[in-house]
Chain A
Amino acid sequence: MSAEILLRSLGFTLLVTGASFAVAAVLGLFVVAARRSGNRILRGAATLWITVMRGVPPLVWLFVVFFGITIQGARLTPVSAAIVTLGAVGSAYLGEAYRAGLESVPASQREALSALSVPRWASLRLVILPQALPIMVSAGAAFGIHLLKDTALASLIGVQEMTYLTNDAVQRGADGFVAFFLLGLAYLALSAPVGMLARSIEQRVQRNRMAVA
């Protein structure tokens, strides 16, 4: 197997992970905005979206999108179907991550800000977000690792990422145990830096908390 093919499959894994993370990060903003809005219908719709996205296996959503959605009679390509699916499912997880961050800031601070008639956007940017961000980033990193592992599902609709390539090699006679074990280690190696980032942020937050107390 040539290095070029290996790198190409790594590229597909990173592309699907990165692009669906970006989709989830943007859609997640709408989810959290609806979930925390004053409008009951919007809140209900957001809760429904979160429940339905998380309550069904991502593989089923992947098949719904890949086999079910056609644009002018044509299916999405496997790569775009994977990105759309994992991004949509991820918006539920990231939306909740944003919410956890926002709700970690005590309500009394919001009340104080509105009593001082600080504009909404300024209070969000200067007071709420700096406190909420570390929690959002650490939850987002955990989601990123989860997402990286879920991209293996894309192999089942024919995206030629790492799992597809390894499975292909094994079906053609490569040693199954060695190949899949190395594949698993590759996922671990890719997720290690993200995990370390999340841990260092958590530690920094904890130090700050102690400094405040």
Chain B
Amino acid sequence: MMLEDIQALLPGLGLSVRLMIASLAIGLPLGLAAGLALFEGGRALRFAVALFTEIGRGFPALVTLYLFYFGLPSLGVVLDAFPALVAAFGYTTAAYTADIFRSALASIPKAQREAAAALALGRWKTFLLVICPQAVRIVLPPVIGFSIIVFQGTALAYSIGLRELVSRAYDQGTLRFDTLHFMLIAAGMYLAVALGIAAVARVVQHRIEGTAKIKARPAPSTLSTTA
């Protein structure tokens, strides 16, 4: 009985997870680009990016979703429900993570860029080999945490008719005259995924702190001048 009810909702859970992954796949690279623009772009670019991130964070997610799904057609862009949601949440993700990326870039000491330049590393090589590996450690825990918010946000897909977890629970509940029962199963599923992602974030955080400690240990080297 209960097992069957859970199984009835599983395809919905699958779609919710796919919506989250697709939104992050679009949103995180965009967020990195926006963070780079905020960090070292010119004035006009910084202003434009700041405007976009303010809008992305200041609009309710449901309004942004409607803007992409019901609004874009009046500009001649018609998107199906799935791509509309992914575009809307990709944009929101970029808006929220831009500042995480920007502050990670800003936290890397300037001396490292100067050292890279002294070693004649080009701009791209400096970014990929020196800056990125360090920035990733800083951004990973908050970005994984943010993905929980994106996952919960996919519940809004209900409003544009996607058959994700909430819609399935709603339909099953209406069909079997027990909305509460199915909504509570859906709630349990959301909670399980959120706790799972939070556990991953903790493990990652722990690992990063572990390696940071190893790195911080003074090298027992004869080159040490303070010995």
Contact = CB atoms under 8 A, between A and B. Distances in A.
Interface of A: 51-52, 54-61, 63-64, 67-69, 149-153, 155-156, 163, 166-167, 170, 175-181, 183-184, 187-188, 191
Given A55-B191, A163-B60, A181 B66 contact: no
A57 B190 contact: yes
28 contacts: A51-B191, A55-B190, A55-B195, A56-B187, A56-B191, A56-B194, A57-B152, A57-B155, A59-B156, A60-B187, A61-B187, A63-B169, A64-B180, A64-B183, A67-B173, A149-B61, A170-B70, A176-B66, A176-B71, A176-B74, A177-B75, A179-B71, A180-B66, A181-B71, A184-B63, A187-B58, A188-B54, A188-B59
Interface of B: 54-55, 58-64, 66-67, 70-75, 152-153, 155-156, 158-159, 166, 169-170, 173, 179-180, 183-184, 186-187, 190-191, 194-195
A153 B156 CA distance: 8
A188 B155 CA distance: 23
B60 A152 contact: yes
Contacts of B64: 184
A177 B62 contact: no
Given A150-B60, A176-B70, A180-B67, 16 more contacts: A55-B191, A59-B166, A60-B186, A63-B170, A63-B183, A64-B187, A151-B60, A152-B60, A156-B62, A163-B60, A170-B66, A170-B71, A181-B71, A184-B58, A184-B59, A188-B55
A60 B179 CA distance: 11
Contacts of A68: 179-180, 183-184
B62 A163 contact: yes
Given A63-B183, A64-B187, A156 B75 contact: no
Contacts, number: 112
B63 A55 contact: no
A166 to B, nearest CB: 8
Contacts of B55: 184, 188
A176 B66 CA distance: 8
A59 B61 CA distance: 12
A181 B67 contact: yes
B195 A177 contact: no
Nearest to A66: B179
B33 to A, nearest CB: 22
A68 B170 CA distance: 11
Contacts of A151: 60
A201 B28 CA distance: 32
